[in-house]
Amino acid sequence: MQQIKLQENNKPMATATTPSAPLMSVSRQELTDRAEMQTLMRQILPGGLYSFQVLGFDPQFAKPKAGKEVSVNLNPRIVLFDLPAPLDKLNYKKRVFEYLNQNAWYHEDFAHALGLELTVLPNGNLTLPGEFLAAPGKEFDSLNTETWAYFGPMEKATGQFNLIVSGVGTKYEQNKIESFVCKVPGCTVKHNTGINRP
């Protein structure tokens, strides 16, 4: 910390200090805990049944493909919970990535895993429950997904899915969703498997 001598009328005054802040202030245990958490976050989970929660959505336009209309990836923010020790430290932190494109064939699987039915539109078409409206403090722009915010029952809803390990033995190894577990009472829909493959 830099020391400054102040003088007035050639008389020495009390020593003052310039305001400053430490570059880092953390205990050794906190550093160890952070490193352990980062290691756990990068860990590939074994395939199997997991509980998840949808924290919200981060919609983005998908990469355009020749001859196809522009579509939107809904990008649900999916986190896991009820993980066994020592992975329980990752509860509500460990994310599983899923595009959930607006044209995906497994919307009903996703909704039913949350215990929700698809919404029937006036024209008879089906859609996921809820809607995207203007984000707080922003004016809705259909061409700018950053102005969108989801409002509806899927946010904070919970469910279960089966995870697999994709890309085993490559640098692209990661967890992906293989299928969703329906929790709609009395459901007779034949749900999809193989949504993602190893």
Which pLDDT value is given to residue 8?
55
Predicted confidence (pLDDT) at residue 13 exceeds the cutoff of 80: no
pLDDT digits 0-9 by tens, 61-104: 999 888 888 999 999 999 999 999 888 989 999 999 999 999 99
Distance between CA 128 and CA 193 in Å, rounded?
Answer: 19
Chain mean pLDDT for the chain: 89
Max avg pLDDT among 13-17, 123-127, 170-174: 123-127
CA 64 to chain centroid, in Å, comes to 23
This model's pTM is above 0.85: no
Sorted by where each begins, the domain ranges of the chain are: 47-198
Q: What is the DSSP string of 17-80?
A: E-----S----HHHHHHHHHHHHHHHPPPPSEEEEEEEEEE--EEPPP-TTS---EE--EEEEE
